[in-house]
Structure 1
Amino acid sequence: MRSPEYSDQQLLAAVAAAAAELGEPLTATAYDAWQRGRDDAASPALVIRRLGSWTEACERAGVTTNATRSTSSRWTDEDMVGFVREYLRSGPGSFAGYTAWAKENDGAPSGSVLRQRFPRWSALKVRAQG
């Protein structure tokens, strides 16, 4: 099955709709949970990839986001690969499984943070297993 294609305007409308429903500031994690199972909203990874960053997407959609510094700089690529490696020793190997695991493991980057640096879960798994 082919993934739906979204225009930039559709991406921004979905971010704005999530903020209207969930409140502001809107985090990528909250948006991620909101958009699951919807045909009219893309994943936060696609939003970030197309619009440059979560902050940029929110700004363009007229939505406030947390003004804190990016958490993705806390971890090097190898740190992130190491967390995924650790997860793969204990989990089923899915991205959703990693996201749940990260919430239970203090210090682990969230799934959204991983996706900012590594948009393809399958490639990240291969790297972690290598």
Structure 2
Amino acid sequence: MRAARTAVAVTILGIVGAGLAACSSQADELENQLRKAGYTDVDAEADYDSKYNSKKKKNEKKLDDYEATAKAGNCTVEVEQDPGSKDWVVETANGKDVNFRNMTAAALVTELGKQGVKC
């Protein structure tokens, strides 16, 4: 009897753990995509928005997107990816607003150089 309860508990913990790992896997995947594209010092995490639910009378967190910071040359860039998407968007580079989709680090440095931003 005790062994059966232990087996059920271990199974439930395994399922919950797998579910939590799935939540973080897109952030990990974004990090891997950026590293393959030549970015360095990559750090990605899920970004949640807080919204007030008037029916439950409490704030609830909702996944908004995945955000990452990285380096392209000497430029610090901020990258965003929507949940379930494989595409990412470079939103800022050294504080300058930009909008480049799936651009490699080398191509980004070249494009920023054309715009007068040195990396």
TM-score by length of 1: 0.23
Q: Is the radius of gyration larger for structure 1 or structure 2?
A: 2
RCO higher in 1 or 2 (8 Å CA, sep ≥ 6)?
1
- The structure where helix makes up a greater share of residues is 1
